[in-house]
């Protein structure tokens, strides 16, 4: 009778490849999660600081400097009636107007410069170019069409871009007004126009709706004001910050 020999096969060892694969997946998941959390924090932290620290500072004290009602001009002006609010598909709102600068007359050309410069020492803005009667402010600051020129009776209105504070650059027109909220009552603003050097002082600041066209209007019957505007909180376009200054 033949003998049968049975040999038990050695136990199979578990491959380490799946374990290595799982460790790699977990590592990349952790890295991606960390990057996501950091990105959210990077973008939202400045807005949180804005809401808790900057906004209360801007809104406090505005009502302490009312303009006498006898000096307030009517909002029913030609400028007010010609201004419209346009909204882009991405939700960004901006002012536009059909105002045309006065043309030359028989007595000679109208003295209205094409541009002037703005300097704000506290914000490290040095002789920034401001285009007169313009609604484009990506390659310069924009002096809104139809508003007074700096030094004239009325309200000279200037608009500039803002971004997240960590990307602020006072020499870049796409970020130049990011730190506009840092201006306080008494800070200096300088304008150079038509060989004139004008000195303005910050009076107050306030937050308004993107559709509030009243910020373009003259502030008082005899005032020579300069208003600076940008989007807030920086990096968003939900509200507008206006900083009002007066000629010294």
User: In the predicted model, is pLDDT for residue 81 greater than 50?
Assistant: yes
145 secondary structure, DSSP code: T
pLDDT score of 246: 95
In the structure, what pLDDT confidence band is assigned to residue 152 with cuts at 50, 70 and 90? very high
Q: Where are the domains of the chain?
A: 59-100+113-247
125 or 14: which carries more pLDDT confidence?
A: 125
Query: What's the average model confidence in pLDDT over 136-153?
Result: 92
Domain 59-100+113-247 homologous superfamily, CATH = Sortase (2.40.260.10)
User: What is the predicted pLDDT for the residue at 93?
Assistant: 76
The answer to whether residue 183 scores a pLDDT higher than 70 is: yes
Averaged pLDDT for residues 130-155: 93
Over residues 136-157, mean pLDDT: 93
E-only strand ranges, the chain: 83-87, 93-97, 115-120, 125-131, 141-143, 154-159, 188-193, 196-208, 224-232, 239-247
Is the pLDDT reported for residue 76 higher than 50? no
């Amino acid at each position: 009778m033949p003998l049968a020999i049975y040999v038990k096969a050695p136990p199979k060892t578990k491959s380490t490849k799946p374990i290595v694969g799982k460790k790699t997946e977990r590592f990349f998941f952790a890295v991606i999660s960390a990057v996501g959390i950091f990105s959210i924090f990077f973008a939202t932290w400045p807005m949180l600081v804005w809401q808790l620290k900057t906004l209360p500072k801007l809104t406090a004290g505005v009502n302490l400097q009312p303009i006498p009602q006898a000096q307030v001009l009517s909002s029913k002006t030609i400028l007010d009636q010609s201004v419209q609010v346009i909204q882009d598909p991405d939700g960004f709102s901006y002012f536009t107007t059909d105002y045309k600068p006065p043309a030359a007359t028989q007595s000679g050309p109208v003295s209205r410069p094409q541009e002037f410069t703005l300097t704000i020492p506290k914000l490290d803005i040095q002789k920034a170019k401001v285009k007169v009667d313009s609604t484009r402010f990506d390659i310069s600051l924009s002096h809104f069409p139809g508003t007074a020129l700096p030094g004239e009776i009325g309200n000279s209105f200037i608009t500039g871009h803002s971004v997240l504070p960590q990307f602020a650059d006072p020499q870049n027109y796409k970020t130049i007004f990011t730190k506009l909220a840092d201006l306080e009552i008494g800070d200096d603003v300088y304008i150079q126009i038509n060989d004139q050097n004008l000195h303005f002082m910050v009076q107050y600041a306030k937050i308004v709706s993107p559709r509030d066209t009243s910020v373009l209007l003259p502030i008082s019957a005899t005032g020579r004001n300069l208003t600076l505007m940008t989007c807030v909180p920086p990096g968003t376009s939900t509200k507008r910050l206006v900083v009002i200054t007066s000629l010294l």
